[in-house]
């Protein structure tokens, strides 16, 4: 009997037919976020929050990903993507999906959420609302006192060119004609001030009513152009290419070069124009012509432009009953309970500590730096910073440590997208305090999360290390799910020292103990771990991979996963966002499942489990399986080896794989579907983790509060 072609021909695991387009996969993720704005199980204000998040996500997608496609098109880029699509094909598909997406956003706002707000006693007045009586008087008085002095109305004529419209700014354009003139029409525009509250509450008892600032400005436009009649007016907003282009080899001073490029971000190529629905065609034509946008780049909006204002609405007082309170976060870490002000170093010496944020508080990480800053035994603190909060206690502690004479080295990544300006401010402040500040490496972003504290103790020098999947940002640590580990094992300490020596100079050790670094060999380590599972499966030994990350789009890694699946390895992937891998392909990915969890917290941790023939290995990392992470960033993969930590990671993975409430399953047709709940226990993994953290902290507190009373005769 002759062998089939399937048995004789080698399988090409890199066939583009086996891959999904990265940009369309991201849009599918934002569609999953938008779904959360529609489900009745979510409280109303949580639904508003998710709608706002989708708008914010979309802004960044246009500024970076759509802009990148436009740049490639303009440069004549010919290479096809991982799924075999040309740049032109990607742009056409992306813009089609985005127009449908924006339409769906406003359908949800107009038909569901806005009417539901009215039912709850809160009305948002938008879309050319006509005010009368006391409302009109209040709006006009508010305009005169608080808005008019801030505005800069700008006319456009032969002596005054069309003004530069800032990226993401909200504007009102108008066509005007001079009173008593010849009837000629001119264009004028005014920017809605960004530093002023956009939601203004109208006075009066009973139902609460809010009006948007642009509506107040629109009704008072005649005051801005006193000698003109307003022919028509409408709101518009432009999105621009905001991806920085920095030639680090040519830049003598990286900090100054980034500061210069940041100014250009506001004036990049226009790639999206949002306009009020029903805008006069003459006005639209003028704006479109001046901004040089194509027809498909124009988004008529059936409602208020820029739905990110809904996040401000979410923060309003008086509507707590319409918000989610089922997720308990920020519980004390059991290892640090027992003292009013725990000794962080003593806790770490007792054994490695794995923390799951935000269910367990981020405070020990902050206190770790704060205690190190004031501890006379601490000689040095070294830390990488990618994104930090606006009023970061960690930055303040590092500055205090330097002022007290400690050796403080901080790598501040200036190229952290959309945090560049923020990080420049922190870098300058740390330098003034006496810290040694490193501005990253040429050609690479430093994305790893690592802190090293060197302390002199009775038995010699001891190194304390913190490694994490998320940033040293105390604000986002309350919103993102991440994992962090404290250890003082010497092997980790030696590697941590080597990392910082490599970042600050050119020193690289001959061998490493525990850590795997990108772009050196982290990718090779991941590939070898996947291939090891493949060999175990072929030999009939237990083989399984569970991998949790934000995104998966590395072609070589996906091909290795396909080969492992074809060999019989069960692969369960938990991927929040982009996934270029396709499931259910016969003979290729039949043993692979992919799920995305979109819940109250942003899933951000990276956990990797390899069965290894019954001797499982667990890893955490700062890196997703993407080309940028594995090849163009400094990232760290590190093992978790203590029994308690490994059990905790396995529990996290198993609980998320059992999630029936917030999980979306990737289907063979490359769409996502909700879990079929029939006959299954209802599991919301985020709620489970929150309740478990609350119980664990309560149990530890009860243990500490028990008092031993001796028996008497």
Model confidence pLDDT, tens digit, residues 534-590: 999 999 999 999 999 999 999 999 999 999 999 999 999 999 999 999 999 999 999
Question: What is the pLDDT at residue 2?
Answer: 40
Question: What is the pLDDT at residue 180?
Answer: 80
pLDDT confidence tier of residue 713, bands split at 50, 70 and 90: very low
Which of 133-137, 161-165, 298-302, 419-423 is modeled with the greatest confidence? Answer: 298-302
Question: What is the pLDDT at residue 190?
Answer: 95
The answer to whether residue 709 is domain-embedded is no
Question: What is the pLDDT at residue 549?
Answer: 98
In tens, the pLDDT along 654-665 reads: 999 999 999 999
Task: Provide the token pair at 169.
Answer: 């700014």
- Pick from 512, 536, 564: which residue ends a domain? 512
The answer to whether residue 708 is domain-embedded is no
Average pLDDT over residues 260-266: 53
Among all chains, which residue has been given the structure tokens 């019989």? 568
Dist. CA 135–CA 240, nearest whole Å: 36
pLDDT reading at 708 higher than 50: no
The answer to whether residue 202 is domain-embedded is yes
Task: Report the CATH number that the domain containing residue 468 is assigned in CATH.
Answer: 3.30.870.10
Average pLDDT over residues 472-492: 95
In tens, the pLDDT along 596-631 reads: 999 999 999 999 999 999 999 999 999 999 999 999
Dist. CA 533–CA 548, nearest whole Å: 17
pLDDT reading at 429 higher than 90: no
pLDDT reading at 366 higher than 80: yes
pTM beyond cutoff 0.85: yes
Which bin fits 578, alpha (ψ -120 to 50), beta or left (φ > 0)?
beta
Domain of 298, in residue numbers: 127-302
pLDDT reading at 410 higher than 80: yes
Dist. CA 215–CA 248, nearest whole Å: 45
pLDDT reading at 192 higher than 90: yes
pLDDT confidence tier of residue 467, bands split at 50, 70 and 90: very high
Judge if 505 and 372 occupy the same domain. yes
pLDDT confidence tier of residue 112, bands split at 50, 70 and 90: very high
Question: What is the pLDDT at residue 335?
Answer: 86
- Number of other CB atoms surrounding residue 175 within 10 Å: 19
The answer to whether residue 712 is domain-embedded is no
Task: Provide the token pair at 510.
Answer: 């001959």
Question: What is the pLDDT at residue 4?
Answer: 41
Give the percent of the chain with pLDDT over 90: 73
Which of 1-5, 29-33, 250-254, 614-618 is the least confident region? 1-5
Buried b / exposed e over 204-240, threshold 16 CB at 10 Å, is eeeebbbbbbbbbbbbbbeebbeebeeebbbbbbbbb
pLDDT confidence tier of residue 406, bands split at 50, 70 and 90: very high
The answer to whether residue 616 is domain-embedded is yes
pLDDT reading at 6 higher than 60: no
Average pLDDT over residues 293-305: 96
Task: Report the CATH number that the domain containing residue 163 is assigned in CATH.
Answer: 3.30.1840.10
Reduce the secondary structure of 439-491 to three states and give it as a string.
CCECCEEECCEEEEEEEEECCEEEEEEEEECCCCCCCHHHCEEEEEEEECCHH
pLDDT reading at 141 higher than 80: yes
In tens, the pLDDT along 81-110 reads: 999 999 999 999 999 999 999 999 999 999
Q: Is 357 a catalytic residue?
A: no
Question: What is the pLDDT at residue 170?
Answer: 96
pLDDT confidence tier of residue 381, bands split at 50, 70 and 90: very high
Question: What is the pLDDT at residue 260?
Answer: 57
Which of 22-36, 234-248, 596-610 is the least confident region? 234-248
Higher pLDDT, 619 or 710: 619
pLDDT confidence tier of residue 130, bands split at 50, 70 and 90: confident
The answer to whether residue 1 is domain-embedded is no
Judge if 104 and 16 occupy the same domain. yes
Nearest-5° angle of CA 603, CA 59, CA 245? 100
Average pLDDT over residues 263-274: 75
Judge if 150 and 205 occupy the same domain. yes
pLDDT reading at 703 higher than 70: no
Judge if 121 and 140 occupy the same domain. no
pLDDT reading at 706 higher than 70: no
CA 650 to chain centre: 25
Mean pLDDT of the chain: 90
pLDDT reading at 297 higher than 70: yes
412 touches 423 (CB < 8 A): yes
pLDDT reading at 710 higher than 50: no
Judge if 600 and 671 occupy the same domain. yes
367 touches 449 (CB < 8 A): no
pLDDT confidence tier of residue 497, bands split at 50, 70 and 90: very high
- Class of residue 529 by CB neighbours under 10 A (exposed 0-12, middle 13-18, buried 19+): buried
Judge if 536 and 642 occupy the same domain. yes
Give the CA radius of gyration of the chain: 28
pLDDT reading at 712 higher than 90: no
- Pick from 512, 543, 569: which residue ends a domain? 512
SS3 230: strand
Task: Report the CATH number that the domain containing residue 39 is assigned in CATH.
Answer: 1.20.58.310
Number of domains in the chain: 4
The answer to whether residue 68 is domain-embedded is yes
In Å, what is the CA distance from 470 to each residue of 194, 475, 548, 549?
A: 30, 12, 14, 12
Question: What is the pLDDT at residue 417?
Answer: 63
Judge if 112 and 142 occupy the same domain. no
Judge if 361 and 292 occupy the same domain. no
DSSP element (H, E) containing 535:
helix 522-538
Task: Provide the token pair at 471.
Answer: 């940033």
Question: What is the pLDDT at residue 286?
Answer: 93
Average pLDDT over residues 470-496: 95
Which of 181-190, 248-257, 331-340, 517-526 is the least confident region? 248-257
pLDDT confidence tier of residue 158, bands split at 50, 70 and 90: low
Question: What is the pLDDT at residue 442?
Answer: 74
Average pLDDT over residues 420-447: 82
Judge if 558 and 530 occupy the same domain. yes
Residues whose CB is less than 8 angstroms from the CB of residue 143 and which lie 6 or more positions away in sequence, other chains included:
216, 217, 219, 220, 223
Judge if 677 and 588 occupy the same domain. yes
Average pLDDT over residues 292-301: 95
Catalytic residue among 286, 356, 357, 447: 447
Which of 191-195, 386-390, 519-523 is the least confident region? 386-390
pLDDT confidence tier of residue 245, bands split at 50, 70 and 90: low
The answer to whether residue 525 is domain-embedded is yes
pLDDT reading at 252 higher than 60: no
Judge if 499 and 525 occupy the same domain. no
- Pick from 479, 512, 545: which residue ends a domain? 512
In tens, the pLDDT along 483-493 reads: 999 999 999 99
pLDDT confidence tier of residue 264, bands split at 50, 70 and 90: low
Judge if 148 and 197 occupy the same domain. yes
Q: Is the peptide bond before 519 cis (omega within 30 degrees of 0)?
A: yes
Which of 249-263, 509-523, 680-694 is the least confident region? 249-263
Task: Please list the residues that pair with 157 across neighbouring strands.
Answer: 160
Taking the alpha carbons at both ends of the chain, their separation in whole angstroms is 91
Give the percent of the chain with pLDDT over 70: 91
Q: Pairing between strand 122-125 and 208-212?
A: parallel
């Amino acid at each position: 009997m002759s062998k089939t072609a399937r048995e004789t021909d080698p399988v090409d695991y890199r066939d583009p037919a086996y891959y999904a387009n990265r940009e369309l996969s991201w849009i599918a993720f934002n569609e999953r976020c938008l779904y959360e704005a529609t489900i009745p199980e979510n409280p109303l204000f949580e639904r508003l929050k998710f709608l706002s998040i989708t708008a914010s996500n979309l802004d960044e997608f246009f500024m970076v990903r759509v802009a990148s496609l436009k740049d490639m098109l303009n440069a004549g880029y010919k290479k096809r993507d991982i799924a075999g699509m040309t740049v032109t094909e990607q742009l056409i598909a992306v813009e089609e999906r985005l127009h449908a997406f924006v339409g769906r956003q406003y359908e949800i706002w107009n038909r569901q959420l806005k009417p539901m707000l009215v039912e709850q006693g809160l009305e948002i007045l938008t879309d050319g609302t006509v005010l009368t009586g006391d409302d009109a008087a209040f709006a006009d008085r508010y305009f005169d006192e608080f808005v008019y002095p801030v505005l800069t109305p700008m006319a456009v004529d032969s002596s005054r060119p069309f003004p530069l419209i800032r990226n993401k700014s909200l504007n009102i354009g108008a066509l005007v004609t001079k009173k008593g003139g010849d009837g000629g029409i001119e264009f004028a525009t005014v920017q809605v001030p960004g530093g002023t509250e956009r939601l203004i509450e109208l006075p009066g008892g009973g139902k609460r009513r809010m009006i948007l600032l642009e509506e107040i400005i629109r009704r008072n436009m005649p005051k801005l152009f006193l000698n003109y009649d307003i022919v028509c007016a409408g709101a518009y907003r432009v999105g621009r290419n905001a991806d920085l282009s920095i030639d680090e080899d040519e830049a003598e001073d990286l900090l100054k070069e980034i500061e210069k490029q940041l100014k250009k971000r506001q004036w990049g190529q226009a790639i999206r124009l949002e306009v009020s629905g029903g805008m006069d065609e003459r006005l639209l034509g003028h704006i479109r012509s001046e901004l040089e946008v194509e027809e498909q780049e124009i988004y008529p909006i059936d409602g208020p432009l820029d739905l990110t204002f809904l996040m401000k609405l979410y923060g309003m007082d008086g509507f707590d009953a319409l918000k989610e309170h089922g997720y308990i976060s920020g519980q004390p870490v059991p290892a640090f309970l027992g003292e009013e002000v725990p000794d962080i170093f003593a806790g770490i010496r007792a054994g490695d500590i794995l923390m799951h944020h935000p269910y367990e508080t981020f405070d020990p990480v902050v206190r770790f730096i704060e205690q190190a800053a004031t501890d006379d035994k601490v000689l040095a603190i070294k830390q990488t910073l990618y994104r930090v909060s606006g009023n970061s206690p960690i930055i303040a502690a590092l500055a205090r440590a330097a002022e007290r004479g400690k050796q403080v080295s901080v790598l501040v990544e200036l190229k952290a997208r959309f945090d560049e300006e923020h990080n420049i401010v922190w870098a300058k402040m740390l330098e003034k305090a006496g810290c040694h500040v490193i501005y990253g490496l040429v050609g690479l972003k430093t994305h790893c999360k690592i802190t090293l504290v060197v302390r002199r103790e009775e038995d010699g020098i001891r190194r304390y290390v913190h490694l994490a999947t998320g940033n040293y940002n105390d604000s986002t640590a309350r919103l993102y799910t991440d994992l962090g580990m404290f250890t003082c094992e010497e092997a980790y300490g030696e590697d941590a020292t080597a990392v910082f020596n490599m970042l600050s100079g050119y020193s690289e050790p001959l061998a490493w103990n525990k850590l795997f670094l990108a772009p050196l060999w982290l990718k090779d380590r991941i590939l070898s771990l996947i291939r090891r599972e493949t060999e175990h499966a072929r030999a009939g030994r237990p083989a399984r991979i569970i991998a949790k990350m934000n995104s998966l789009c590395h072609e070589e890694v996906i091909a290795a996963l396909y080969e492992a699946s074809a060999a019989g390895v069960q692969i369960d992937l938990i991927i929040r966002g982009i996934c270029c891998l396709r499931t259910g392909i016969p003979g290729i990915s039949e043993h692979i499942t992919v799920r995305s969890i979109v819940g109250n917290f942003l899933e951000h941790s990276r956990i990797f489990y390899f069965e290894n023939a019954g001797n499982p290995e667990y890893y955490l990392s700062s890196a997703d399986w993407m080309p940028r992470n594995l090849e163009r960033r400094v990232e760290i993969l590190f093992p978790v080896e203590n029994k308690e930590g490994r059990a905790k990671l396995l529990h996290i993975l198993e609980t998320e794989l059992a999630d029936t409430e917030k999980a979306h399953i990737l289907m063979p047709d490359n769409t996502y579907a909700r879990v079929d709940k029939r006959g299954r226990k209802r599991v919301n993994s985020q709620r489970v983790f929150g309740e478990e953290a609350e119980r664990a902290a309560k149990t530890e507190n009860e243990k500490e509060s028990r008092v031993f009373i001796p028996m008497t005769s």
